[in-house]
A = this chain, B = another copy of it.
Amino acid sequence: MSSKIAIIGGTGNLGSALAWRLARAGRAVIIGSRTAESASAKAAELGHGLTGMANPDAADVADIIIITVPFSAQEATLAEIKPHVAGKIVVDTTVPLVPPKVMRVQLPAEGSAAAKAAGLLGDDVRLVSGFHNVAAHKLAQDVDVACDILVFGDEKAARAEVVALADAAGLRGIHAGPLVNSAAAEAMTSLLIFINKNYQVDGAGIAVTGDLKPLG
């Protein structure tokens, strides 16, 4: 049986785009939001069999929980879902942007948003991070998106599930090492915002160059 996926904060730009792409690829996806009503409304809008629930309920019924909230909401959101995610794969997509200087790398004291999530969730979740660099508005369109998804986690099998989700979403997922390495991709987002502004790009992304052989 295929894993059930919950997108926490799934009415936001990244969350709804990801939910739409995964549902379109045939995955069972639940949109989570503050209220079941707003979640269900977004699910109905996006179609493809999506359903909606309040965040904790979505986390409770799902096997893989993807967190797509702004940095300022990360802590409260993780506290809210923590009772429902023991033993499960949690995918943190948080980018530690600190407005108004979002073009400036400002990593948190923990080293990365992923490390912060690890501290908040404790050891009984299978924590992975990813989807930091992809432009949500491009992901929401039915187009090829030129951005690799760097996936981080201390457990290879959990990472592999998220790499597969990225692939299902029409992107290229890449194993990029332990959770601590998440700092690189999180920091990269500020560079991409800087590049978008200075080179007038509509959603720059990153690609790993070179001939990547299949994983052994």
Contacts and interface: CB of A to CB of B under 8 A. Distances in A.
Interface of A: 103-107, 111, 146-147, 150, 174-178, 180-181, 183-185, 187-188, 190-192, 194-196, 198-215
A195 B208 contact: yes
B174 A195 contact: yes
Nearest to A197: B177
A180 B192 CA distance: 14
Contact of A190 (B184, B205, B215): B184
A193 to B, nearest CB: 9
Contact of A201 (B187, B206, B211): B211
14 contacts: A104-B177, A104-B178, A105-B177, A105-B180, A146-B210, A147-B209, A177-B194, A181-B187, A181-B190, A183-B183, A184-B191, A202-B211, A204-B208, A204-B212
Contacts of A213: 199-201
What copy number does this chain have within its complex? 2
A190 B177 contact: yes
A204 to B, nearest CB: 4
A58 B106 CA distance: 35
A188 B184 contact: yes
Contacts of A150: 191
B215 A210 contact: no
A206 B174 CA distance: 13
What are the 8 closest A-B residue pairs judged by CB atoms, nearest first? Answer: A184-B187, A204-B210, A146-B209, A199-B212, A201-B210, A177-B194, A205-B209, A200-B213
Contacts of A180: 104-106
Given A207-B207, A210-B201, A184 B184 contact: yes
Given A188-B184, A191-B150, A199-B215, A177 B210 contact: no
